[in-house]
Chains A and B, each alone.
Chain A
């Protein structure tokens, strides 16, 4: 049986960060993820690595966030972008929390390489963002950094792998083994091999996010979480020049953030007891977001909604206060005092803190294992961060559009040249497979070979396949064929990949379907049902209903 110093459960931002930190300190690591890297909470966030703007009354957290932004700029600048943000004020009461925020933000601005908070006149505000409600009385301007959550997790996992870690996706932990109150190992079901497997270890880090309490329970430990659902509405393009933050109908703050090629409108916050796998955004959530943003961007409903996206926050269990008042700090719980030695769990936290959380947890693991070591994760770059990428030169050299090369760079950084080099032997791999993003065949082949996707949905998280306005209408069958060739899938599995991918896309498209997106869906149904006849193939294909699907 395989033996590890530490087993990490969960492949989100925290789990992959812990695996990376442990592996860099020389520990033998296994990371188990029951689905794919960044396929749950992390994959549903907007990617803002916030300076802590919502938590200005927790100065130590603001300090930490600010420092972490600087760290990310050092190790992952290629998957980051800086976005200007405007908070328009329509009435004096909108300003209530403005003063303290401006002061706290500006104090730490210089270290993050952003200007201090500015107060803009209505004229200047409208010059920057013409879609704003012209009745605004002023606006607050500041800048925040964003990171691609998928890319961050993937790069952390790849880096951990390069440092010797074993990363296993589609492996769901089914039992944690203990002897006399100490962890001895665990069992997991490998959904790829369809087999139960087990591994030995004395230390487990539980980074299972909204499932952390269930993992703890497998070891007989207690863990409480306050699960809170957040939903986004995704618009088809950059309908605003800058990020916009506004007060929602009940006074919470919501945002409209540029995100890759799209814009995210979010979020809602609803305490939830549902299985996170079954959740979809509700009609009420969609309308809440549109209605709230409409005050400051009156034309928001003219934008084409492509889908919704939802996730569950694993908040620290503080009760009888609104979600917004729960600390965004994190807690690391060592279950040793309750008689489960070797298990530590996370609650709370934010994307921006994931590296910090991993450092603290790894320090604790090392202490428990009786070893001394130093954290290096904030200094050593993630893969692809080494050099600048000359987009214009590469586009010219390989005869690929600048737009394509730039989008590739935003995912792979300095690996872009390596990917493009594949087209020397295979010029046909310059073919654009996903036109919305865009993604060329060479990048798909590279991602399949280098980043262990098991499904087409995994490939979507790697390269943003099928995430644009057409939502996979034109790329699903093309990309599925490439995946099937690379992984040597059967004809049946090739068709299942198509159907599974469309099922996942439909989950988000369905809730907000309206306007042009209905025509888009009619076209998708025309291709895959009417012509492809795949609607009639489900039974023959052994299709498993997804958690959010209901029997007709």
Chain B
């Protein structure tokens, strides 16, 4: 264990922002990684270097700079394809983020896939990004969402999944890991059940992809989305994986330059995927910097380390939080990533969040864009501490110690009026 912690200390130095001080002068303890991760220097420099040395528009210049930029952009696509185990880089579409990715898929399926009365099987733990796009579809084609309930520990029971399938199920759209609970869901097993029934599967991998490498073919899924900024890459870049025949079946999401084969006044013929889905100038620098983040994670940090160390941090954090009087932890089922949501007695999460902030500890408080899950938990909001491989055990100690202070502060009974 000492070796793991020592390596965490070492790679932590790659993240300049982690040396920041809170305005109060206290060191920053960043535990809001599920919202967005911090960026290693390699990624920051890659972004700047693109604009410094390589900037040009892609796919349209004969000049050398455009060719270099195009090459780097397409190399980024290849790295992403290899990272998720896609059969071909042509199955990888760059978008602005996972939210745009799900909207792209939803609007495509609206036009070629859904009929009135169809159902989409989801989990009770979906992020709004995997709920609202379907509600928008439902405004035009009356379809509905059927959520699979969670177990009391925040996991998914396959028997409950089997029960949720109906004759009208036309799509399975599930998160691989809850952004609130951290619990991981059995994607491969659910996908197998869907396959038996001839139903396509979409996976929201935003949280899962950060904690372990994803293999889309082993999972047997049709669509998968994730955002770059949670994966130590820049904002404004996300990935849609689309298994081969789907790229042909789905109509384009937006029209414009770079996604066409031929345009006349009579109409347009579209380019083959993935270009078909990338209208306009894409986030070129961001795609290249995302590939740099993947390189950094694979070659410098190491996925074996990330998984082993985060397991340790997850257990360490659970034990530390359990010591806080009156705490309720949400999502104790395993496997889970190092994300802990909790409430302390009747103390409102917002009060806890401000208190922690004053101690230099950044956490997220609120509904985490998962209001249906909050309803199911019977709370309006939670406090969420989400960890990354650069967090250290002493930061968790500091969190727990400050939470003890929160309890003491709010347990204090003022004299009656």
Task: Answer yes or no: do A and B interact.
Answer: no
Q: Could you tell me which A residues sit within 8 Å of B by CB distance?
A: none
Q: Could you tell me which B residues sit within 8 Å of A by CB distance?
A: none
